[in-house]
Amino acid sequence: MESPTVTPEGTAFPPDLERLGIVPGAKIDIREFDTIGKRHNFHIYLYFEEDLARDSTLSEDLQEYSDVPDLERPFIRLDAFLRFATESDPLFTRRLDELPLVVEVVAYGDLTTQEGKSVPYVKGVMPFLDELTMEDTPTAP
């Protein structure tokens, strides 16, 4: 588990992430985001509350929710979210083909683990259910 030691968080992203399209406001499919994070060695934290994602830092959130189980927090690491969702619903991946989850990139920072290793992270906001793109359905006049 990470220590809540974090360098200042912000919306300035390193050039190597910007080249990948990881910039504030970018909207990225959750599966692609996971792949990019693994390939380029950064953690991704998904937030379920937009205000919390924008108005706090990961350091503050890790400290405030340190006594709350990971799956009950208003944020979670993307890899843990995908693992939980797939274990809970074996058809989850197929559902993502039908209704992709698109995450909005919010902030970037560096996290220092208990071992003293610095790990970059990106915060993203999950869409609210009413924001998910649905197929157009005819409405009665």
Q: Is 134 a domain residue?
A: no
| Cβ neighbours of residue 123 closer than 8 Å, sequence gap 6 or more | 9, 44, 45, 47, 53, 58, 75, 105, 106, 107, 108, 109
Q: Is 88 a domain residue?
A: yes
Domain that holds residue 39: 2-128
Three state DSSP letters for 123-139: EEECCCHHHCCCCCCCC
Residues of the chain short of pLDDT 50, as ranges, are: 1-6, 130-141
pLDDT recorded at residue 8:
61
Number of H helices, E strands in the chain: 6, 6
pLDDT recorded at residue 59:
87
Q: Is 13 a domain residue?
A: yes
Closest Cα to residue 32, out of 71, 78, 74, 76? 78
- What secondary structure does DSSP assign to 108-119, as a single string? EEEEEETTS-EE
Which residue type is seen at 117?
Answer: K
pLDDT recorded at residue 117:
87
Q: Is 139 a domain residue?
A: no
Taking CA 132 as the corner, what is the angle to CA 79 and CA 137, rounded to the nearest 5 degrees? 145
Q: How many structural domains compose the chain?
A: 1
pLDDT recorded at residue 136:
40
